[in-house]
């Protein structure tokens, strides 16, 4: 049985959620460190068993002789899927699934934007214009075909919700898709299936799969050529799954109708990029709205993984060798903030609460106590 004597945390929680997290480890020493104070992080980890961190695994975390488990407080672990991490015996886990319900809503938001030609309608509204030319040809979601690529937490939530729209749902995953018998058809990569039939058949393509060396630029010139001219692609996964240049060309040449993008290969997407100004392209800046108390959902994953760690069971959302990503760079979100080369003094000048949310505490003593 694994024991946890010391936990080091760098996550950015308010005091209520930190108190909840601290109480998962009642028998352990629990130390908070600012995520950007890498010198102190490395020092505190010298005798720690568990680290709960904001962002990806930093190289300063790889030298502890006692550290066994690192819990990353975000879903995508491709930034941690590096050779130097796999060279250790560390267990690395993530928070996949915590935002799945609203991520599914975000997919449908993009789909409805395309169906209802939102840009055209808003332009007409601004002009006080009643009606838009061609609107009698627009089609809703009902009765149309949608393909979901990646049937993990997010893909399943999307399927659950699109079922209510009476859409024909096709799904692809590398591994067998258990249950979900309402799907029109299931495709399994490990059984030799490809995504070709989905591309050729579906009006909407939804990407909810992980980014790794196998999925990098999974959608490029040839894939777009196989899609129907009226098809619309939604990327709620990672930007690197789509070849941005190929996507831009496919839309401009009418090979597909448009895209809904919450992610991009380069984030932020440069302001002069042509995708911003394409008629049927809708872009959000990697900002799916939060579920009520997203941190609490992460905490529940950590709580279950703590139980599994102590009993030696397989962990939820564990980083695997197959998650390795070396085909491109990780240039967005947490990677930019937590892996930056800014000094501690420079980062302390940044209004972090504007980006990470209000914490409502200044001294860990406000939450770092055990309930009786």
98 is catalytic: no
d(C-alpha 54, C-alpha 334), whole Å = 8
Torsion of CA 57, 298, 208, 265, to 10 degrees: -40
Using the Cα atoms of residue 252, residue 253, residue 259 and residue 262 in order, give the sign of their dihedral: negative
- Residue 5 to residues 26, 30, 45, 66, Cα–Cα distance (Å): 10, 9, 12, 10
Tokens representing 254 are 């009418």
- Single out the residue of 56, 22, 62 nearest to residue 42, CA to CA: 62
In this structure, the number of other CB atoms found within 10 A of the CB of residue 187 comes to: 22
DSSP bridge partners of 235: 207, 261
- The residue annotated as part of the active site, out of 238, 255, 265, 294, is 238
Q: Give ∠ CA 149-284-277 in degrees, rounded to 5.
A: 105
The reply to whether 22 belongs to the active site is no
Q: Which contiguous run of DSSP H or E holds residue 249?
A: helix 244-252
Provide the 10 A C-beta neighbour count for residue 47.
Answer: 14
Phi, psi of 180 (to 5 degrees): 50, 50
Instruction: Dump the DSSP string for 70-83.
Output: EEESSS--TTT--H
Selecting among 19, 40, 286, 303, the annotated active-site residue is 286
φ/ψ of 281, rounded to 5, equals: -115, 130
Residue 138 tokens read as: 């627009």
Q: CA 33: distance to chain centroid?
A: 25
Tell me which DSSP letter residue 188 carries: E
- Exposed e or buried b per residue across 137-147, where buried means at least 16 C-beta atoms within 10 angstroms of its C-beta: eeeebeebbbb
187: β partners = 172
Please confirm, yes or no, whether 238 is among the known catalytic residues.
yes
From the centroid of its chain, how far is CA 143?
A: 29
Q: Residue 91 forms beta bridges with which residues?
A: 69
Catalytic residue chosen out of the listed positions 266, 267, 300, 304: 267
Q: Residue 85 is inside which H or E element, if any?
A: helix 83-86
Active-site amino acid positions: 238, 267, 286
């Amino acid at each position: 049985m694994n024991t946890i004597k010391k936990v080091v945390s760098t996550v950015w929680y308010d005091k209520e959620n930190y108190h909840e997290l601290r109480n998962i480890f009642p028998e352990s020493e629990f130390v908070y460190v600012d995520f950007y104070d890498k010198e102190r992080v490395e020092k505190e980890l010298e005798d720690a068993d568990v680290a709960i961190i904001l962002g990806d695994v930093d190289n300063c975390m790889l030298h502890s002789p006692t550290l066994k488990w690192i819990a990353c407080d975000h879903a995508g672990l491709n930034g941690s899927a590096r050779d130097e991490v796999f060279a250790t015996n560390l267990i690395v886990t993530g928070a996949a699934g915590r935002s799945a319900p609203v991520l599914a809503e975000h997919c449908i938001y993009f789909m409805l934007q395309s169906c209802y030609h939102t840009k055209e309608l808003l332009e007409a509204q601004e002009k006080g214009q009643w009606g838009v030319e061609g609107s009698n040809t627009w089609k809703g979601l009902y009765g149309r075909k949608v393909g979901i690529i990646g049937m993990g937490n997010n893909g399943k939530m999307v399927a659950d919700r699109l079922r209510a729209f009476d859409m024909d749902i096709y799904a692809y995953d590398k591994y067998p898709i258990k249950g979900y018998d309402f799907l029109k058809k299931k495709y399994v990569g490990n059984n030799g299936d490809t995504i070709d039939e989905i591309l050729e058949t579906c009006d909407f393509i939804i990407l909810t799969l992980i980014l790794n060396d196998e999925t990098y630029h999974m959608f490029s010139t040839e894939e777009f050529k196989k899609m129907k001219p009226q098809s619309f692609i939604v990327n709620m996964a990672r930007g690197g799954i789509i070849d941005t240049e190929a996507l831009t060309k496919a839309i401009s040449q009418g090979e597909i109708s448009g895209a809904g993008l919450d992610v991009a290969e380069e984030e932020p997407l440069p302001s002069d990029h042509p995708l911003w100004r394409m008629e049927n392209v809708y872009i959000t800046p990697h900002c799916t709205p939060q579920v009520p108390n997203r941190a609490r959902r992460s905490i529940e994953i950590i709580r279950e993984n703590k139980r599994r760690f102590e009993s030696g069971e397989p962990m939820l959302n564990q980083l695997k060798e197959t998650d390795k990503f070396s085909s491109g760079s990780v240039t967005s979100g947490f990677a930019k903030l937590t892996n930056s080369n800014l000094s501690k003094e420079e980062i302390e000048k940044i209004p972090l609460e504007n980006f990470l949310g209000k914490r409502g505490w200044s001294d860990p003593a406000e939450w770092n106590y055990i309930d009786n």
